Amino acid sequence: MDDERLDAGPFGAWLVATERSIAGEADSDVPCGSCTACCSSSQFVHIGPDEHDALEHIPAPLLFPAPRMPAGHVLLGYDAHGRCPMLRDDGCSIYAHRPRTCRTYDCRVFPAAGIDLGGDADKGLIAARARRWEFGHPDADDAALHDAVRAAAAFVSEHQAELPPDVAPTTPTQLAVAAVVAHREFVERDAGRVTPARPDVRAVAVALGRRRVR
Ligand code: SF4
């Protein structure tokens, strides 16, 4: 069933793993099954100049310079149906060599941040998949951390215009990643327990600046 709930795992464990992925310390470990929504949703895939393995496995004519990025950064586009040109009926044709963007993508970041992609027609497949994930909250801290990520997303969205342009997210994906990056500003540790905090815009901007989200 397309609306069947999917187990996203305990929220706290997901958050730790996702912070490592965003920091470039590990790939995402997403139980995708047969889903290829993120490869079929009109997404540009960024590839950095250091990603020699991926670049060697993607035909050069499919790549073009990434706008507003230094020379050497390229994008892999999509076809008229929104599909990545490396996608085949049985999945990614270069899976073992796929770009870093693909290795770190995790659509659970949207329910983590409380973001629904329903308004973006191109992202309908991802939106449907993202809505099915259900995080577990085995203890109060898990629930408090989930509240903090959602609070961070709401705050960053509300104060987007007050943030420096180089850290202000401009897409739902950037907003969701920014919420993970900034969530620590929205919690305090009180006698070992996680409790809510209310940062100002400057503190959030500094947190986002420590880890650019694009
Ligand atoms: S390179 Fe592979 S994993 Fe990445 S978007 Fe294309 S088909 Fe999907």
Q: State residue 212's pLDDT score.
A: 55
The answer on pLDDT for 130 being more than 70 is yes
Q: Per residue in 29-84, pLDDT tens?
A: 999 999 999 999 999 999 999 999 999 999 999 999 999 889 999 999 999 999 99
pLDDT (tens digit per residue) in 44-56: 999 999 999 999 9
213: amino acid identity, one letter: V
Amino acid at 83: R
Q: What is the best residue among 27, 86, 89 to mutate for testing ligand 1's pocket, by most ligand atoms within 8 Å of CB?
A: 86
Residue of 104, 120, 129 lying closest to 181 (CA atoms)? 104
Crossing angle for the helix pair 140-158 and 11-22, nearest 10 degrees? 50
Report the candidate in 133, 99, 117, 134 with the shortest Cα–Cα distance to residue 28: 99
Ligand 1: centre distance to CA 98 (Å):
6
Buried b (16+ CB within 10 A) or exposed e, 181-204: bbbbbbbeeeeeebeeeebeeeeb
Residue type, 36: T
pLDDT at 211 over 80: no
Q: What is the pTM of this model?
A: 0.91
Q: How far is the CA of 39 from the centre of ligand 1 (A)?
A: 5
Model confidence at 1, pLDDT cuts 50, 70, 90, reads low
| Predicted local distance difference test score (pLDDT) of residue 213 | 45
Least confident of 82-96, 159-173, 199-213: 199-213
- Ligand 1 pocket test: pick from 27, 62, 94 the residue with the most ligand atoms within 8 Å of its Cβ: 94
Mean pLDDT of 6-32: 94
Q: What is the mean pLDDT of the chain?
A: 93
Pairing state between β 133-136 and 6-10: parallel
Average pLDDT of the residues in 13-31: 93
Q: Cα(178) to centroid of ligand 1, in Å?
A: 23
Query: With 50 as the cut, is the pLDDT of residue 192 above it?
Result: yes
Distance (Å, rounded) from C-alpha 178 to C-alpha 188? 19
Tell me what pLDDT residue 24 has: 87
- The full DSSP string for the chain is -TT--EEEEEHHHHHHHHHHHHTTSS------TT--GGGSS---EEE-TT-HHHHHHS-GGGEEEPTTS-TT-EEE---TTS--TTEETTEETTGGG--HHHHH--TTHHHHHT---TT-GGGHHHHHHHHHEEEE--SHHHHHHHHHHHHHHHHHHHTGGGS-TTTS--SHHHHHHHHHHHGGGGEEEETTEEEE----HHHHHHHHHHS---
Q: How far is the CA of 211 from the centre of ligand 1 (A)?
A: 24
With a cut of 70, say whether residue 86 has pLDDT above it: yes
Query: Which residue's CA is the closest to the ligand 1 atom numbered 2?
Result: 92
Nearest atom in ligand 1 to 45's CA: 5
Query: Ligand 1 center to residue 114 CA distance, Å?
Result: 25
> What are the tokens at 135?
């995080």
Report d(CA 84, CA 78) in Å as an integer. Answer: 4
Best of 62, 89, 98, 122 to mutate for ligand 1, by most ligand atoms within 8 A of CB?
A: 98
Q: Could you tell me the distance, in angstroms and rounded to a whole number, from the CA of residue 72 to the centre of ligand 1?
A: 20
